[in-house]
Structure 1
């Protein structure tokens, strides 16, 4: 519930407010959109620290505080009268997002569940939260049309605050563990993190999930405009792009099922390779309706599978003691790529064209696949679980 509403309010709703904010704040689309990019970058910067705090203290206090901070930030957003005020608000939105969205939520699940139960819990979370855009984009549009963008933000802030704050504060709790001295646990965690960041496997994961995040973010931003560029109608382009959300659910179900029978890294590497094929074929066959649909189907299968695969790979190799600390370090790189890759891609399309950008996307997916293949070949180290 909190992830679905959190992503709907703190992430997806922004696109609905872009046009009315541009009009009222007297700024260009790029200037207003820069606030969202700023929030994502701030979230990336905060991710390592948030990971350490979740490992040390659990998710309850951090996520409850982040929910309150996010609620206040959205309320302040509704009162922003200038671009500097908007940017200041979105610094806070970025901090709150790092405290309440997927990374800390995954850490809570990883610390509570074991084995198959953990995989099922992660799958349930990502599938349900995957509908955040489907719910909150039309809901936000209706609120803006009925009450204006400022009052719509007040309503969304109340919806988020009244749900997320009490759920995080009163429902989240630590999993019962045998008593362990905090100092000993902290030393053990520090040892695991230091050993991990000095070794090759961790950096192969960083390469894989950073490259893949950049590729997925680029396609998410450029797909509709590229299909229109290929002479498809805007309605068709939007409809085909809408398949990505449905396919992300399909990809997660398939990935979770295959991971129980095959190596998780290889499963993800194969799917990333299919995405690369889809990106490479799009400039060649995307001008036809079957070609465009086929390429989107291939690429869409990989949407969101990093959310399933990364926790699995980290816990198998490093255990759960330092999961959030390690995941936070990976998130710093992958979230930064997610924020900067689309802007770079838009600029590159003006210099080298859509076809070359699709080749770059395919190269990133292949790099991710190769990194996971290399990761799979490395022996597992013995670490506490």
Structure 2
């Protein structure tokens, strides 16, 4: 990678690590204390979080279209402000109604500021060359829970959940806002020479493109939805699932902690051995990790808790990369942001339902809830094998950066 691409990757990667940690991973640590403080139940906290994830689904396409036109710098800076304001407000809520309202605001910030936005940002800056950068960004992001959960846990015990929210608001305003402000600028549309301006709308907006690629788009959206459902189910319930399998609480947390490093290892392996292969092959291989991990845990119980964490993490890490690189490889860089946002709408809706649906399955079926993972993963596997690998035209214009 060029030096400029490496610098951009590092900036976006650090931004993703801290942004995921300051929002998406908060309820797993703070939900109990928040519920007690607000006089409500933990499921109410997660209901507000699920509502935020629905807002993410609605926000993604709009943010992607803006990034396609103006670049990611102003969008990511705006989300840092939204995150900071939302976290300050979250630290002050006194009623469940206020909690839901604040999570609506944080949902807008997550929809415009997490992985899809960073992927679209680097694609807008570097076009087809962004595949390596996407891998790099997810390498940083893989450590989000590893970094944020211990920090948030420490803050919870030392200063309480409200001050923990204020700490993460400070990270957004004082660390990430200046970091994203240092990203390269994109020439405003009016300044782009006429010879560089496309004569027709980008592929994400073209009815002809959608009609000609409808089957591919639907299969891709289906597979992404399945992946996000499984991933969010595990991030919400993995320690509890391992306890149900017979592990102690301490052993369950230790095994769950292996997911983050395993995700990073999976992404390194993907880049080392499959970087010249089409991303569809990476996705087809990685999706098999979900049912394999479920089978291992079902057969060997708590003794295989660590194996479940590692196998799941390896597959989930590669799939996160594939969800960014597969549309780029298949359709090219033009219109990437909006197209990615549209592809992720059903995925985000599936993600929003995952904590409740898998939690209910775990309550009623105990370890039998793993069958839900197997069925969803098999659906994604079939969808991926129905896709045909193809390469987008190489002549994908890379926009000018100041």
TM-score of the aligned structures, taking structure 1 as reference length:
0.90
The gaps in structure 1 that reach 5 residues or longer are none
Shift in CA distance, 171/296, structure 1 to aligned 2, threshold 3 Å: closer
Shift in CA distance, 347/70, structure 1 to aligned 2, threshold 3 Å: same
Deviates more, 1:91-100 or 1:257-266: 257-266
- Tell me how far apart the structure 2 counterparts of residues 224 and 154 of structure 1 sit (CA, whole Å): 27
Measure how far apart 1:156 and its partner are: 1.9
Q: Is the 8 A contact 1:266 1:373 kept in 2?
A: no
Equivalent position of 2:193 in the other structure: 179
Task: Choose from 176, 193, 196 the match for 2:210.
Answer: 196
The gaps in structure 2 that reach 5 residues or longer are 1-13, 397-402
Task: Choose from 374, 383, 386 the match for 1:362.
Answer: 374
Structure 2 residue 387 is the aligned partner of structure 1 residue 375: yes
Equivalent position of 1:127 in the other structure: 139
SS at structure 2 position matched to 1:376: coil
- Tell me how far apart the structure 1 counterparts of residues 223 and 261 of structure 2 sit (CA, whole Å): 23
Measure how far apart 1:340 and its partner are: 0.7
What are the superposed Cα offsets for residues 215-263 of structure 1, whole Å, 9 maximum, x if unpaired?
Answer: 2222333332222222222211211111111111111112223332433
- Tell me how far apart the structure 1 counterparts of residues 145 and 307 of structure 2 sit (CA, whole Å): 23
Equivalent position of 1:212 in the other structure: 227
SS at structure 2 position matched to 1:187: coil
SS at structure 1 position matched to 2:283: helix
Measure how far apart 1:185 and its partner are: 5.7
Equivalent position of 1:137 in the other structure: 149
Measure how far apart 1:77 and its partner are: 0.9
Shift in CA distance, 281/193, structure 1 to aligned 2, threshold 3 Å: farther
Equivalent position of 1:70 in the other structure: 83
Structure 2 residue 164 is the aligned partner of structure 1 residue 152: yes
Equivalent position of 2:244 in the other structure: 229
TM-score of the aligned structures, taking structure 2 as reference length:
0.87
Shift in CA distance, 131/299, structure 1 to aligned 2, threshold 3 Å: closer
SS at structure 2 position matched to 1:301: helix
Measure how far apart 1:29 and its partner are: 0.9
Measure how far apart 1:186 and its partner are: 6.3
Shift in CA distance, 381/327, structure 1 to aligned 2, threshold 3 Å: same
Count of residues in Structure 1 that have an aligned counterpart in Structure 2: 380
- Tell me how far apart the structure 1 counterparts of residues 366 and 167 of structure 2 sit (CA, whole Å): 42
Deviates more, 1:40-49 or 1:86-95: 40-49
Measure how far apart 1:182 and its partner are: 8.8
Equivalent position of 1:29 in the other structure: 42
Measure how far apart 1:97 and its partner are: 1.1
Q: CA RMSD in A?
A: 2.5
Shift in CA distance, 114/324, structure 1 to aligned 2, threshold 3 Å: closer
Equivalent position of 2:8 in the other structure: none
- Tell me how far apart the structure 1 counterparts of residues 221 and 33 of structure 2 sit (CA, whole Å): 38
Equivalent position of 1:167 in the other structure: 179
Structure 1 runs of 4+ off > 6 angstroms?
175-178
Equivalent position of 1:278 in the other structure: 293
Q: How does 1:39-58 map to 2 (within 5 A)?
A: 39-58=52-71
SS at structure 1 position matched to 2:147: helix
Deviates more, 1:222-231 or 1:201-210: 222-231
Deviates more, 1:147-156 or 1:97-106: 147-156
SS at structure 2 position matched to 1:92: helix
SS at structure 1 position matched to 2:103: helix
Q: Is the 8 A contact 2:286 2:315 kept in 1?
A: yes
SS at structure 2 position matched to 1:188: coil
Structure 2 residue 340 is the aligned partner of structure 1 residue 346: no
- Tell me how far apart the structure 2 counterparts of residues 185 and 97 of structure 1 sit (CA, whole Å): 33
